[in-house]
Chain A
């Protein structure tokens, strides 16, 4: 489907909605159950009522079903975006969170129209793995307050309940895969706590207001001035970047799992529209969710209908059965979130540390560490991308060799450069010349080298100058061929065989 991009045909779109009705509806129901704990848990983390996250999850999941680029991917209120907004809510309140959500959405729409999705190619595999692992750790760490005995309501019984929940989640599928095990966990733990009258166990209702009505349109109550913008913008920017990163990464994963291609730009715009609209109904920003998307694909969800169903079922559950949802004990949600965390973590990356080159392990770990330290996935990705760039430059700098010969009469020294000459190898280049020697003529043959940037041109100029100061005549051979690569964009596509020609010398 190359080149179709945003302009897909009506036929394709209809197919994406109704091509897999039974599978999508069933998967949507299963996914809704995994959305609720994350929405509730991370509303609490962000410091707002559970209804803010639940409304957001409903609105994002439903809207992205219409405007998203990747059918079968689940988006809702997520951990990754929630952790960015903790300080905003603490310092300025909910209304600013809503404003930041709207602004983040607008930024994402802009990114979509500027086709920034293409820059995902510079996010290497190691950075992505680091992102996943960091996200898994963030999700797990967010559960720790519920397991901290110092908090009211948390006792050893909490541990027992979480353990029971995990046991149901992981052991039940061995008996049957026809019922969602998270649902069974919720039901069993809720009934158990109610029947045993353990009313000191924390429940969802203790965490804040649940949705009691359908969401309504409202405009965030903030002063519309520059000061507000400056408060909101840094958060909105971080949310927009992290949201797009996780969405595009999840999109990659779903593309791979289903062996289909989808449009990144459309996904960026879709995420933006979903977030903008969500801010106006009192929901917080979200993005695609890796764990829930995997659950969706695993349960047979492939089309847009799965995300739509998940959102609608979620709303029906929390609004219609709000009183029951409020009685769900927190340990049940903690168990489900631990499962999501385990499913998100890339366990193979730990084994791979032994076989992968050390540089890729360093990139992965640096990404994880900077995220866990800052709680900002965008910073982690930035660190990872910078490091992989440096490592790559260091690797390519090795593809440089300089050899020299002295003529029989001892008067002419010829230096032959081969390989890649750029800022990473410029220092080796300068060090290779022997300025203490005193030949009459110096020939620098660069015809078999590639000059990639200004650093290397400058290094060459300096070398020539130094030889002249020592009184030598300097001649540079093959400068034209060597400097073909210095332009920003190599115009090789229009000349057949041009790449071969470039690589040959």
Chain B
């Protein structure tokens, strides 16, 4: 349990993921595993719409498809090595002594699962390759990772800024409590400027909730200030982050069932989408 796993895909976010990973690794004195996963091979079939079957159509088609796959796989592999080498260079420049590279094939979740035993946090970019096509749309793998991960997931924003001011969105839910518990035992938050924010219609109740979290952190020797606010959580958080220049948002992830999220959407997903700073998620 002493490694940070950085998931890289060669998108614009990858550089920022490396810097953030280096920051966390140095705070915790952890090693870094950098991983790039080559997805399942799919699509890019030959576009022969003639619909005609010649003699030996099956073997000819098999040969054609295999050679196409072979070319693409070689290319993807070379690209994967390049991405990882670049990441290693950035991480070492940032002062991480030990970086291990993993190039794996298949499904991202399975690849993460294979190394999960000795990692303590995952870092990943907000969006993946092809991020520029639909800005504001989350990477399709991100939500799967957050849901499946047993360790905290650090979702990096596009640009890296050194982290000093941290906003903790706290609602007293189970995953939010986990977040506070884990923060209390982590070395990463000791010298940061922490603010615990509770959003609720009932100001008194919100104040009490926030204070409880602050007290818990205080017991662990971490100083934090408590805040309350009213309104639509997404808007409140977004305004506050922009106005007071917070560098990191910490929150519990996905309190509700998948079915509910499917219908009304999830606060977590919406939040990661709207704020322009990194988000650290506990589950």
A-side residues, CB < 8 A to B, are 11, 19-20, 23, 26-27, 30-31, 33-34, 169-170, 172-173, 176-183, 253, 256-260, 291, 294-295, 297-302, 339-340, 342-344, 346-348
Contact = CB atoms under 8 A, between A and B. Distances in A.
Interface of B: 40-43, 45-59, 61-62, 65-66, 69, 144
A177 B65 contact: no
B51 A30 contact: yes
Interface centre among B55, B69, B144 (most CB of A within 10 A): B55
B18 to A, nearest CB: 27
B53 A342 contact: yes
Given A342-B55, A348-B59, A172 B42 contact: no
Given A343-B54, A347-B55, A26 B61 contact: no
Contact of B45 (A30, A291, A295, A302): A302
B57 A20 contact: no
Contacts of A180: 49-51
B46 A300 contact: yes
Contacts of B45: 20, 23, 297, 299-302
B55 A298 contact: no
A259 B65 CA distance: 9
Contacts of B54: 170, 342-343
A173 B53 contact: no
A234 B55 CA distance: 36
Given A294-B53, A295-B53, A300-B48, 8 more contacts: A19-B42, A23-B43, A23-B45, A173-B50, A177-B50, A180-B49, A299-B51, A343-B53
The 10 closest A-B pairs by CB, nearest first: A343-B53, A173-B50, A180-B51, A300-B45, A30-B51, A343-B57, A177-B48, A177-B50, A181-B52, A181-B50
A300 B47 contact: yes
Contacts, number: 100
Contacts of A169: 52
Contacts of B57: 294, 298, 343
A253 B59 CA distance: 10
Contacts of A339: 52-53
A185 to B, nearest CB: 9
Contacts of B41: 259
B129 to A, nearest CB: 15
A27 B51 CA distance: 9
B211 to A, nearest CB: 41
B55 A179 contact: no
A128 to B, nearest CB: 12
Contacts of A26: 47, 49
Nearest to B66: A259
Interface centre among A27, A178, A259, A298 (most CB of B within 10 A): A298
B133 to A, nearest CB: 15
Contacts of B52: 169-170, 172-173, 181-182, 339
20 contacts: A26-B47, A30-B51, A170-B54, A172-B52, A173-B48, A173-B52, A176-B50, A177-B49, A180-B49, A181-B51, A257-B58, A294-B57, A297-B61, A297-B65, A299-B47, A300-B47, A300-B49, A302-B45, A343-B57, A346-B58
